[in-house]
């Protein structure tokens, strides 16, 4: 069975890519009336995310990337079942390097623990990471080329990353693209910013039920949203309100029921048996707070 499996990953683009780095981000959201397909029943999904990135400058050409991300999703995985909380915690450890005025690289390891956290074991630990090559075309346009790979409960997943970052000469219009993972287009109107963004989320979580074999949830979701942002404290604190549509789907499978390989939107050797009805998407609301460090301003 083929389906879109796209991951969400907060990528700290440092060094010849953007004029800032988001050191801290926190967000809370909720979807409404997610119906199960072909059966009576619906649920809603509450989500919470928090992430911190702390770059350590080693010298003028290299910076160590450290940090962590945490996420929580709460929903009913089966019709009329109790609500289940799914957690994911990952550590970020990598190196951002500048090789010339045009070329730079970012290498990051992303080990994580993902499950309902009821009985944490080595089976809940997964290793991932990404590699990125960045080309500075000019002071307003940068290109990105990379790859992400991760172990998941269903097997190995990989995806290429293609994107660009553009900031208009008047610093009002901004495009931050890392496809197929994320996209953000915005226009600044003084202390406020209007924009729209997209995130492709793909994660897996081990789920433990009492006196039952371990199952896992295979999450795939595409989120499209418009947002209004207030830029506070000299644009260092961003307060963002979002509304959009999320195609949440949490497919449940027996532990050990795996695919051969997942590459971006394609799966190979996927003969798994889904144990729950598919979940339709729904409208969501979300609030985010971001602490942004402006590299050029601090340097001046």
Per-residue pLDDT tens for 216-232?
A: 999 988 999 999 999 99
Q: Stretch 185-194: mean pLDDT, rounded?
A: 96
Does a structural domain hold residue 236? yes
Does a structural domain hold residue 8? no
Does a structural domain hold residue 6? no
Please report how many Cα atoms fall inside a 13 Å half-sphere around the Cα of residue 238, on the Cβ side.
Answer: 27
Dihedral pair phi/psi, residue 298, rounded to 5°: -70, -35
Residue with tokens 């907060």: 10
Full residue range of the structural domain in which residue 49 is found: 20-299
- What pLDDT score was predicted for residue 294? 81
Does a structural domain hold residue 283? yes
- What pLDDT score was predicted for residue 20? 80
Residue with tokens 């649920």: 43
Q: Does the pLDDT of residue 300 top 70, yes or no?
A: no
Q: For the chain, what is the domain count?
A: 1
d(CA 275, CA 217): 10
Give the model confidence (pLDDT) of 73-97 as tens digits: 999 999 999 999 999 999 999 999 9
- Which secondary-structure segment (H or E) carries 277? none
Global confidence as pTM: 0.88
Does a structural domain hold residue 127? yes
Token representation of residue 109: 């390891």
């Amino acid at each position: 069975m083929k389906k879109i499996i796209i991951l969400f990953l907060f990528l700290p683009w440092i060094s010849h890519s953007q004029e800032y780095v988001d050191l801290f981000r926190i967000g809370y959201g909720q979807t409404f009336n997610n119906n199960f397909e072909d059966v009576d029943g619906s649920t809603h999904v509450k989500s919470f995310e928090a992430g911190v990135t702390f770059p350590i400058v080693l010298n003028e050409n290299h910076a160590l990337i450290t940090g962590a991300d945490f996420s929580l999703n709460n929903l009913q995985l089966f019709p009329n079942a109790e609500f289940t909380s799914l957690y994911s915690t990952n550590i970020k450890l990598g190196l951002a390097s500048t090789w010339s005025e045009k070329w730079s690289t970012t290498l990051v390891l992303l080990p994580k623990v993902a499950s309902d956290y009821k009985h944490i074991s080595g089976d809940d630990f997964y290793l991932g990471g990404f590699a990125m090559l960045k080309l500075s075309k000019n002071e307003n346009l940068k290109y990105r080329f990379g790859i992400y790979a991760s172990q998941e409960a269903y097997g190995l997943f990989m995806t290429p990353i293609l994107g660009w970052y553009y900031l208009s000469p008047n610093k009002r219009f901004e495009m931050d693209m890392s496809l197929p993972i994320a996209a953000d287009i915005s226009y600044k109107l003084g202390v406020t910013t209007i924009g729209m963004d997209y995130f492709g989320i793909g994660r897996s979580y081990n789920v433990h039920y009492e006196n039952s074999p371990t199952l896992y949830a295979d999450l795939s979701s595409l989120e499209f949203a418009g947002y209004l942002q207030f830029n506070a404290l000299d644009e260092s604190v961003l307060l963002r309100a979002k509304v959009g549509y999320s195609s949440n789907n949490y497919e449940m499978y027996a532990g050990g029921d795996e695919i051969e390989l997942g590459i971006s939107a394609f799966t190979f050797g996927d003969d798994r048996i889904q144990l729950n009805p598919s979940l339709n998407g729904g409208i969501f609301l979300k609030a985010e707070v971001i602490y942004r460090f402006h590299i050029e301003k601090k340097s001046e």
